[in-house]
Amino acid sequence: MGKPTGFMEYQRELPSKLAPLERLNHWQEFDLPFSEEKLRVQAARCMNCGTPFCHTGMLISGMASGCPINNLIPEWNDLVYNGLWQTALDRLHKTNNFPEFTGRVCPAPCEGSCTLGFNEPPVTIKNIEYALIEKGFRKGWVSPIVPKTRTGKKVAVVGSGPAGLACAAQLNQAGHSVTVFERADRIGGLLMYGIPNMKLDKQIIQRRLELMVKEGITFVPNTEVGKDYPIDKLKAEFQAIVLCGGATKPRDLQVEGRNLKGIHFAVDFLTTNTKHLLDHQGAGVPALNAKDLDVIVIGGGDTGTDCVGTSLRHGCKSVIQFEILPQPPQERQADNPWPEWPKVERTDYGQQEAIALYGQDPRQYCLMTKKIVGDENGQVKELHTVKVEWKRDQNGRFSPQEIPNTAKVWSAQLVLIAMGFLGPEETLLKQLKVEQDGRSNVKAEYNKFATTVEGIFSAGDMRRGQSLVVWAINEGRGAARECDRYLMGETDLP
């Protein structure tokens, strides 16, 4: 621990961001520079605890507490404080293949379980991680690592999201020849098309992909396995297969009027926008856009926030975000103690921008959509809602109960459904005869990742259900380890 009293001397400080109204004029990332000296001060706040929780990755009350990929956080914080940046980056890369992704989009469960966070603002772990990898790229410390020997084994990874990329990276380092198949026109899966450019600039993804190609990994976009690439050919050409296709089946809204024009899944809205942005270098607007429209986003998670931020950049007339759950508290409650993930209200970038533009938070809590009404042309015109309160039923489970006399009508010409995902698409799984569990996910035990078909493994959202990028990396690395063990009889992969 480089500064034993650092946590008592220094206050938590984060980089400033471009003002909300200013950043609405473009699609670029908006964090402003943060000096190296300030970063060292923030690293000095790390207590290097006798029993740190930040790197544990435990599940407590169903949510991650600590880093799911077990980043060696106290170690690289101490190294940063002492100015040993390259060594710190080496320690970070031991557990995390893509800190440039997690440093941008991870919600930082590590900070939620930081020991200092028990009674003070936690260490700025995520920001230090981001700074480490970006400094590494600037200094040329991040370069292709080409395996010295090849095993002669060929592995197919289906899906190029964070799980697929992590799996491919690890298998390649083990010496196997890895081919990654992606049905979209660009590699990256969720990272490419599920996350807007202002949260994760797509050049950052391309930067990493170019490294992976130099390391020997083959990427095949525009190819849907089981449709464009026959299953028999896949099995004949590869000694093992790892399924990392994600949980891409969106949860729908089952109400009257759902089939009206102007109602879209959030993932389609975000994908269309990013594809247009990349295809046209930011010129014009995509065919599916929110310009001059009253927008209602149904869903209060990260994807809903991304829809808010994207709609604002299109120049929407207004935007409202419906959330059926109650408004979270401002501080931890007694039933949500440290080191659990703090279930408190967070005002993310999309809400900040809406507040700056319209003067009010776009989120409406405890609101249930009852029906959607259209005009004479079959275009969505308005949503009818009712307020709800959450009460325990006879089995002790909470369920929403309608509150009388709270009906309301909302004007909308564009409705975006951001209610999460139900599980993986089943076409490929049925062709491979891979069994699914009760939630429709691929049936494969965690830490083994083997499906019910020999030689086929699965990782990420396709196996565990919709989750965090950092969990996808965890699973991709784990599936690579077990796949390597299957191919070679033993493994040195972590």
pLDDT band at 50 (very low <50, low <70, confident <90, very high): confident
pLDDT surpasses 70 at 1: no
Name which CATH class applies to 154-248+422-488: alpha beta
Q: CA-to-CA distance for 253 and 407, rounded, in angstroms? A: 18
Q: What is the CATH number of domain 252-419?
A: 3.50.50.60
Lowest mean pLDDT among 62-66, 316-320, 365-369, 456-460: 62-66
Mean pLDDT of the chain: 96
The pLDDT value given to residue 43: 96
pTM: 0.96
Judge contact between 284 and 259, C-beta under 8 A.
no
Strand-pair partners of 298: 322, 417
pLDDT (tens digit per residue) in 228-286: 999 999 999 999 999 999 999 999 999 999 999 999 999 999 999 999 999 998 788 89
The pLDDT value given to residue 393: 85
Task: State yes or no: cis peptide before 339, omega within 30 of 0.
Answer: yes
Q: CA-to-CA distance for 433 and 213, rounded, in angstroms? A: 31
Three-class SS of residue 7? helix
The pLDDT value given to residue 282: 79
pLDDT surpasses 80 at 184: yes
Do the domains at 154-248+422-488 and 252-419 have one common CATH topology? yes
Name which CATH class applies to 6-139: mainly alpha
Q: What is the mean pLDDT of residues 163-186?
A: 98
Compute the residue count for the chain: 494
pLDDT surpasses 70 at 174: yes
Q: Phi, psi (5° rounding) for residue 167?
A: -65, -45
Residue bearing tokens 């206050």: 11
The pLDDT value given to residue 61: 87
As given in the structure block, the two tokens for residue 486 are 């299957």
| Amino acid of residue 204 | I
The pLDDT value given to residue 51: 87
Q: CA-to-CA distance for 212 and 214, rounded, in angstroms? A: 5
Q: What is the mean pLDDT of residues 288-304?
A: 96
Judge contact between 47 and 78, C-beta under 8 A.
no
Judge contact between 454 and 143, C-beta under 8 A.
no
Judge contact between 473 and 166, C-beta under 8 A.
yes
DSSP string, 192-257: IIIS-TTTS-HHHHHHHHHHHHHTT-EEE-S--BTTTB-HHHHHHH-SEEEE-----EEPP--SBT
What spatial distance separates the first Cα and last Cα of the chain, rounded to whole Å?
26
Strand-pair partners of 154: 177
Helix 85-93 / helix 125-139 crossing angle, nearest 10 deg: 110
Q: Phi, psi (5° rounding) for residue 136?
A: -60, -45
pLDDT (tens digit per residue) in 100-124: 999 999 999 999 999 999 999 999 9
Q: How far is CA 96 from the centre of its chain?
A: 15
Q: CA-to-CA distance for 24 and 476, rounded, in angstroms? A: 35
pLDDT band at 395 (very low <50, low <70, confident <90, very high): confident
Q: What is the mean pLDDT of residues 442-470?
A: 97
Vertex 305 angle, CA 383 and 246, to 5°: 100
As given in the structure block, the two tokens for residue 66 are 């600590």
- Which residues make Cβ contacts (< 8 Å) with residue 341, sequence separation at least 6? 60, 61, 63, 64, 65, 109, 112, 113
As given in the structure block, the two tokens for residue 308 are 């808010």
Sign of the C-alpha dihedral computed for residues 365, 369, 370 and 372 taken in this order: positive
Render the burial of 227-262: b for 16+ CB within 10 Å, e for the rest.
eebeeeebeeebbbbbbbbbbbebeebeeebeebeb
Q: CA-to-CA distance for 431 and 436, rounded, in angstroms? A: 13
Q: CA-to-CA distance for 278 and 280, rounded, in angstroms? A: 6
pLDDT (tens digit per residue) in 17-33: 999 999 999 999 999 99
- Which residues make Cβ contacts (< 8 Å) with residue 172, sequence separation at least 6? 147, 178, 212, 215, 216, 217
For the chain, what are the domain ranges? Answer: 6-139, 154-248+422-488, 252-419
Element (H, E) at 40: helix 36-44
pLDDT surpasses 90 at 306: yes
pLDDT surpasses 90 at 315: yes
Q: CA-to-CA distance for 469 and 391, rounded, in angstroms? A: 33
* Percent of the chain's residues with pLDDT above 90: 95
